[in-house]
Amino acid sequence: MAVRATVSRFPATPEALESCAVQWGVAVTPFAAVDERGQPPTTGAGGDRIPRCEHCWAYLSSHCDLERWGWTCALCGTLNGFDDEAERRFQRPDACPELNSSFVDLEIAGAGGDGVQALPVYVAAVDLACSEEFLELIKSALLAALEALIPGSLFGLMTFSHKIGLYDVQGPIPLVKNVFIPPDLEEDGLPVALEDAMPLLSFLAPVDTCKDRIAAALETLRPTSSWERGAASGHEEDAVLLGGRGFGTAMSALIEYLSSGYGSTFALARVFAFLSGAPDYGAGLLDTRRYGEQYASKGVDANLALLPEQIPFYRDLAAVAVQSGVCIDIFAVTDEYTDLASLKFLSIESGGYLFLYANADDSTLPQDIYRLLSRPYAFGCVLRLRTSSDFEPGNSYGHFFPDPQYESVQHIICCDSFATYAYDFEFSHNNGFSRSCCCADRFSVQRD
């Protein structure tokens, strides 16, 4: 974990903070391999045995004053007593990692053998309302991704256009089941639930034994034709229909599909969504034409304007994804306006990343997805920032969401070694830091 403050010395009073006009806060990289000075953590076991303050619930650390029978909290100054086990343990302080370093990484014993299976699940959602060049790039990227997946991973392949395709690659030949997306979902929704079309355990294949079959299934992918999309939309047979990209419906159905296995089959599902343009079919469709007309009438260049979110559909869908244990990365390969201002919330608020490539010819997508999967990452994380009583966290920034019950507790669905979160500090009262208290300007960061 690395914690970097915006200033080398904290301001003493609110007046000093206002007069210097400098941002006061910290940037935290919870899963970094080294701290801000390049030092690795002190490691150990028994994280559940570290004493906690009776007043503020902070953990005992190397900043706390130790006595024979107890310790003084470095944040609130409360004197806490040791129980018999802790008293025996702290008779040998050199053997206690939490007393020898300010950066410690301690393991906590598992609660038992009946918990969630920590099976990593990956799903590729491929846009078939696309060009041949786009599809060849996605095939190369997914072949690279298969090489980066860790042993024991489960992989699912889904396609979307005017229909959703689910692939079962666990048999001798790839089997695909299609569910058509109605143009208007306000009445009945999908005609068939994805779970009814294909059981989840048939959809998720073990990479260890099915890698070649997954690669064979990728070779069968073909772009949908314009007449096929036109027929599904109710147009004339000879009509040429561009689009037919039911991305919003596909993601909503996929999240619901995967949620049935959350907590039993897997602890986190990571979805790689590949887009060749803006969603223009079914739920969550985006109007990409109105912006050009809107800004042209005002004499403003739409390419230079910071466009607002068009609809809240994808922001709301991200909240559902978080509750279902699903993290979504979006890879958009297009040189046209795609309304990323609306789409971005599905990725960043579910703990994922958003990638944009202008074209398929010189795209680094295969290398990027390989590097992304090669990084170590954690899921289901809890981050808490504790401070002394003289100041407190203000605004927070990052791909996390606040705990509904506890203050200054953030939940992170997926966190790799580069994920960084920022906090603003503000004084709790007008007096600033108390000069009589030695722990006035201290804070601690806890990562579970």
Number of C-beta neighbours around residue 287 at 10 A: 11
pLDDT at 354: 94
Q: Is the pLDDT of residue 239 over 60?
A: no
What does the pLDDT average to over 160-164?
A: 93
* Other C-beta atoms lying within 10 Å of the C-beta of residue 390: 19
Q: Where residue 234 falls among pLDDT bands split at 50, 70, 90?
A: low
Tell me the average pLDDT across 2-28. 87
pLDDT, one tens digit per residue, over 300-330 is 665 666 567 788 999 999 999 988 889 999 9
User: Is 422 within 8 Å of 430 (Cβ atoms)?
Assistant: no
DSSP state letters, 405-447:
SSTTEEEEEEEETT--EEEEEEESSTT-S-TT-TTTT-EEEEE
Taking domain 120-374, whether its CATH number is 3.40.50.410 is answered by: yes
pLDDT at 14 over 90: no
Other C-beta atoms lying within 10 Å of the C-beta of residue 172: 7
pLDDT score of 146 more than 90: yes
Q: What's the mean pLDDT in 191-219? A: 93
Structural contact between residues 414 and 31, judged by C-beta atoms closer than 8 angstroms = no
- 268-292: average pLDDT: 86
**What are the beta bridge partners of residue 266?**
262
The pLDDT of residue 168 is 95
pLDDT at 237: 47
Query: How many whole angstroms separate alpha carbon 242 and alpha carbon 290?
Result: 17
pLDDT bin (cut points 50, 70, 90) of residue 129 is very high
- The mean per-residue pLDDT over the stretch 137-159 comes to 94
Query: 352 versus 303: which is more confidently predicted?
Result: 352
Asked if pLDDT for residue 446 goes beyond 70, the answer is no
Helix (H, G, I), strand (E, B) or coil at 72: strand
d(CA 85, CA 198): 53
Q: What is the pLDDT of residue 241?
A: 46
Confidence of residue 299 (pLDDT cuts 50, 70, 90): low
- Domain extents for the chain? 2-112+383-447, 120-374
- What's the Cα-to-Cα distance from 93 to each of 97, 99, 202, 421, rounded to whole Å? 8, 7, 53, 32
Average pLDDT over residues 48-77: 87
Residue 84, pLDDT > 80, answer yes
Helices 132-148 & 207-219, crossing angle to 10 degrees?
Answer: 170
For residues 120 and 63, give the distance between their C-alpha atoms in angstroms, rounded to a whole number: 38
- Residue 437 binned pLDDT confidence (cut-offs 50, 70, 90): low
Residue 242 pLDDT exceeds 60 = no
According to the model, what pLDDT value does residue 100 have? 82
Q: What is the pLDDT of residue 115?
A: 46
Q: By percentage, how much of the chain surpasses pLDDT 70?
A: 85
Task: Determine the average pLDDT of the residues in 89-99.
Answer: 83
Q: Whole-number mean pLDDT of the chain?
A: 84
Mean pLDDT of 103-120: 66
pTM equals 0.81
Rounded distance between C-alpha atoms, residue 159 and residue 125, angstroms: 5
- Per DSSP bridges, beta strands 354-357 and 42-44 are unpaired
Question: pLDDT exceeding 90 applies to what percent of the chain?
Answer: 33
Q: What pLDDT, in 10s, does the model give residues 374-430?
A: 888 887 788 888 888 888 888 888 888 888 888 778 888 888 888 898 999 888 888
